[in-house]
Structures are given as C-alpha cells and as structure tokens.
Structure 1
Amino acid sequence: MLFLFAINPASGGKGKNDWEVAIHNFFANNTHSTELFHLDGKTDDTELPRKIREVNPDCVVAVGGDGTIKSVAEHLVDTGVPLGVLPAGSANGMARELNIPQDIDGSLNLLVDGQNRPVDCIDVNGELCIHLSDVGLNAQLVRYYQRNNLRGKLGYLRSVMQVLKKRRLLRVEINLDDQCVQRAAFMIVLANARMYGTGAVINPDGDPSDGKFEIVVFRRLTVWEIVKLFWRYQPFDSKNIEIFPATSIKIATHRKAYFQVDGEYQGRVTEIDAKIRPGALMMRLPA
C-alpha cells in the first residue's frame, strides 16, 4: 500500500518530529511505501488535493487532532479513498470514538492491519462535520481557546473561567422531521459520536455509522457539569439534557450564538441547517 501522510505541524500533543521519525522507522523495512505532506493552514485546500491526485495513494493519513481530521476528510468525502488517523492533536475525540490507538506504534500498526469501513458525516450549514458540532456555550469556549492561542487542559480551564462569567441561556426552536421543539438551553450539540475530545460522554448511544445523528439539548449546565467537559469520562446527568435522533434538522436561535464544527470556531449564527450523509467517508479502522 501507498500511504500519504498529511501532517499538521501546529497540532498539539506529541512533537511532530517524533511522529515523522516513527513513520520513517516503521515503514523502513516493509513492502509499503509512504509520502509525507506538511499542512500549512493556508494553501491546503489547493495543495493537498493536488498532492492526492499526484500520488494516488491507497490511504491518506491525517496526523493531528480533530481539526486536522476534518480538514483532510473534506478532500476524501465521496471519493472512496480511505482516511487513516495518527492522533497527534491536543484533542483526539474522533480517534477515541473509533477505537484508534492513541500511541504511535498502535496507530501505525492499525494502518497496515485495519480495514476500510464507511463512516457517516453531517452537512452543517455547508460545513463537513464528522464528529461534533454545537451552538452556544462550548462553541464560545472554542472561540476563547483559539483566540488566546492556548493549549492543553490549563488552556481550556482558563477559557472555561472566561465563559462562565458571560454564559446566557439561548431560546431555540428545533425542527426535526414532523416535530417542532422550543427550548431554553445553554447549548445544542449535533452529535455524530458519543464524546468530546476530552472523553466527556454527552451522547451515550451515539454511533458514527448508524445513518443518523443526535441533537443533545443542554437545558441546565452547572459549573461541575462544565468542568466534566474536560476532565471526566462519565455521562452527563440525564435530568439536565434531552436527546433527539434525526437525519435532518433546522435550528433557529432568538439571537446570534457562537457556533463551532469539529473544534473549529465558525462565527455567530441564528440558524443551523444540518443533514446526515450516510457512509460518505471511508476510514481505516480496527477490524
């Protein structure tokens, strides 16, 4: 097989030199071949697809976190070319969700020994989402985190403190299938998965390959519940949330609200239009 590694030097986690050395050593004495491509965040939308056409790989591997996976996946949706993952980011929620090993050797072995399986995506306001998108409090956290150029859990904690001072309820109208729901909530999550990158479980029955996604409505959110977004691995209190399965949805908010997709802040919106894209992305996963 020919693997094309798309490496994001700006991702958190382990040093990228460690990953590059491990890639070189792992493939030095076997029949598989590799190509390395460094993402720069500026020309990737033109240069990465050009590289994919030039190399014609059997698998494109995203080396980074959830944001890197999203940016690489955008060029592989509906192509049949599988996406592999080396979880080298500060947030590796999708890798955890899909049982991709978090260590270098384990994730490299998976590329060789795994199998190609289809995974659902969500189209959210024209953006590709393969993990989690939300409007409200967590999206505000993402904005602070990125704007302050913070990394790690201490960075998240600082963002949490900033957001807690300004948190406000949103009045929202949610239209799904033949149902219209009106709620006051701190945030609404469109979940194609079970957990955030920190391991906090928000959607216990989520399955990224079941042909649907879930809308998770946080009607009450205490300080401790917010902290659990980043440090705890147990589900949220079911008394504080509602979960609705859907294949398409329209959400309207009474005021502009913070909005993020797969850990990338998108701005403030008053409307969200989302629909499932079943099996749109092929991924290299455990057998």
Structure 2
Amino acid sequence: MTFLFAINPVSGGRDKSDWEEGIRQFFADLPHTVHVLELNGKTDDELVRQQIALHQPDRVVAVGGDGTIKCVGTQLLGTDTVLGILPAGSANGLARELGIPPDIEASLSVLVNGTPKPVDVISINEGDICLHLGDIGLNARVVKHYQDNNWRGMFGYLRAVIKALQTRQLLRVEINLGETCVSRAALMVVLANARMYGTGAVINPDGDMSDGQFEVVIFRRLAIWEILKLFWRYRPFDPRSIEIYPATSISVETRRKAYFQIDGEYRGRINQLKAAIRPGALTILVPPEIAP
C-alpha cells in the first residue's frame, strides 16, 4: 500500500520530529511506500489535494489534532481513500472517540492492521463540515480565547474556560428539527456527531458516528461548578437543564449573533445555521475491536 502522511508541525504546541522518525522506523522493514508532507498552516488544503493527486495513496494519514484531521478528511469525502489518524494534537477528541491509542507505536499499528469504518459527517451551512462536534455559545467562546491567546494544552484550556465564564450570556435560540420546533434560552447548543469533547467530557452518551444521525444538545442554566464539570468529566444529565434531540437536518436562529466553532476551530459569530447529516461520507481506520 501507499501511505501519505500529512504532518502538522505545530499542533498541540509540540515538536513532531519524533512522530516523523517513528513513522519511518515503523515502516522501514515493511513492504509499503511512505510519503511525508509537512503542512504550513496557510495552504494546507491545496497541499493535501496536490499530494493526493500526485501519489494516489491508498491511505492518507493526518498527524495532528482535530483541525488537522478535518483538513485531511475534507479532501477524502465521498472517495474510496481511507483516512488514518496519528493523534498528535492537544486534546485529540476524534481519536479518543474512535478508540485510537495515543502513543506512536500503537496508533501506527492501527494504520496497517486496523479496520476501515464508514462514519457520518455533518454538513454545515452548505459550505463546511463537522466531523466531531460543533457548537454555538459558551464553548465556542472558550475556543476563541484559546486560539486568540495561543494557549496550549489542558492548562491553556482551563484558562480559556475561566475567561469565558466571566462574560457568559444566555442565548435566545429557535431550533427547527423538522417535525419539532423548540425555543430556548441556552448557554450553548451543540451539534454532536460523537459522544465527548477532547477533554473526555461526555455530553452525548448515546452518540454514534455511524448511525445516520446527529444529536442537538441544548445546555440551559447551569451553576459554575456544573459548567466546570461539563468540560472535564461526565456528569449525570438533569433533564431540567440539558435536552438532547436526535436529528438528520436542522436550522438554528439566534436573536443576536453568537460565537460559533466547528471541531475545535473558531468560525466567527453567526445568527443562522443549517446542518444536515451525510451518512457514511468518510472512511476512517479504527482498531479492529472498535469496528462493528
């Protein structure tokens, strides 16, 4: 097989030279062809597209965090080429969701011995996609602070959470779920294609990335301590504060513009959003015991 590795040299604030060295050592005695591409953070989409066209790889591997995975995965939507993941970011939410181990040797083994698993993606506003989790409101503001200040790691995330809590506001949202419309005052609204954030906090316990639907998770009024628990660990859901609706397509409107993020990348402020599921649009390598 032919592998193309797309390495983000700055994801997670860590040097990736050990990952590249580990890749070359792992494949040194294997009968596979390996190509390595270093991303630059400016023309990544074009670089990945060009290298795929040049090498025609069987498997394209994202070496980085959720943003890197999304960049690479976007180029593979609707194709037969399989996406591999080496989790080298700060939180690695999607890798955690799919059971991909965090160490180099074990995750490299998944690239060769893993099972291809078709997963759904969420189309956002007809021009973007969400692989993992997108949201408007409180967490999107956290992501903005995290990026604007170039904070790294879990401590940086904690600083961003504390800063966002100082100016938290409730949103007035109208959500059209097709047969159901709901109007709420909410801290945030999450489009969940998965179960948990990269921190390990489970917000959508019954989420399944291959079930042909996503969930809309509405977080209403919560005490500060409950909000902190929300970001770092599973907490029992209080139905008076948190609601979950399954959906295949929705539209959302907010009374005023709200902070918006997709897969850990801040997207600006919006007051309208449309989303629809794309079943099985991307195939990702997962450990054999994870695949159905």
TM, length-normalised to structure 2: 0.95
1:136 matched residue in structure 2? 137
Q: Distance in 2 between matches of 1:236 and 1:18?
A: 41
1:215 maps onto 2:223 in alignment = no
Deviates more, 1:30-39 or 1:225-234: 225-234
AA partner of residue 221 (structure 2): R
Q: How many Å separate the matches in 1 of 2:15 and 2:227?
A: 29
Task: State how 1:252-263 maps to structure 2 within 5 Å.
Answer: 252-263=253-264
Structure 2 residues without counterparts, runs of 5 or longer: none
Q: In structure 2, what is the equivalent of residue 224 of structure 1?
A: 225
User: What is the SS of the residue equivalent to 2:11?
Assistant: coil
**Alpha-carbon distance, 1:246 to partner:** 0.2
Deviation at residue 102 of structure 1 after TM alignment: 1.1
Shift >6 Å, 4+ stretches: none
Tell me the residue number matched to 2:4.
4
Q: How far apart, CA to CA, are the structure 2 residues paired with 1:39 and 1:205?
A: 35
The one-letter code of the counterpart of 2:11 is: S
Give the direction of change, closer, same or farther, for the CA distance of 1:118–1:26 in structure 2 (3 Å limit): same
Find the counterpart in structure 2 of residue 105 from structure 1: 105
Quote the Cα distance in structure 2 between the aligned partners of 1:153 and 1:229.
Answer: 14
Find the counterpart in structure 2 of residue 244 from structure 1: 245
Matched with 2:30 is 30
Question: Within 5 A, what are the aligned runs for 1:168-187?
Answer: 168-187=169-188
- CA 114–86 in structure 1, closer or farther in 2 if over 3 Å, else same: same
Give ranges in structure 1 of 5+ residues lacking alignment: none
Structure 2 residue identity aligned to 1:30? L
Alignment of 1:1-287 (within 5 A): 1-12=1-12, 15-125=15-125, 126-234=127-235, 236-287=237-288
**Aligned AA for 2:76?**
L
Between the aligned partners of 1:13 and 1:209, the Cα distance in structure 2 is: 31
Is the CA contact (8 Å cut-off) linking 1:63 and 1:87 kept in structure 2? yes
TM-score scaled by length of structure 1: 0.97
Q: Deviations over 1:204-225 (max 9, x none)?
A: 0000000000000001222223
Question: How far did residue 13 of structure 1 move?
Answer: 6.2
2:155 & 2:101 partners in 1: Cα distance? 24
* RMSD (Å), alpha carbons: 1.2
Alignment: residue pair count: 287
CA distance in 2, matches of 1:133, 1:267: 12
Cα separation, 1, equivalents of 2:13 and 2:97: 18
Distance in structure 2 (CA, Å) of the matches to 1:86 and 1:235: 31
- Local SS of the residue matching 2:139: helix
Cα distance in 1 for partners of 2:238, 2:101 equals 28
Please report how far the alpha carbon of residue 44 of structure 1 lies from its aligned counterpart in structure 2 after TM superposition: 1.4
Deviation at 1:176, TM superposition (A): 0.6
Task: Confirm or deny: 8 A CA contact 1:200 1:235 kept in the other structure.
Answer: no
Q: Output the CA distance in 2 between the equivalents of 1:193 and 1:233.
A: 14
User: Which shows bigger deviation, 136-145 or 154-163?
Assistant: 154-163
- 8 Å CA contact 2:7–2:64 kept in 1: the answer is yes
Q: 1:198·1:229 contact (CA, 8 Å) conserved in 2?
A: no
Once residues 31 and 260 of structure 1 are traced to their aligned partners in structure 2, the CA distance between those partners, rounded to angstroms, is: 41
Amino acid aligned to 2:25 = N
Secondary structure of the residue that 2:31 maps to in structure 1? coil
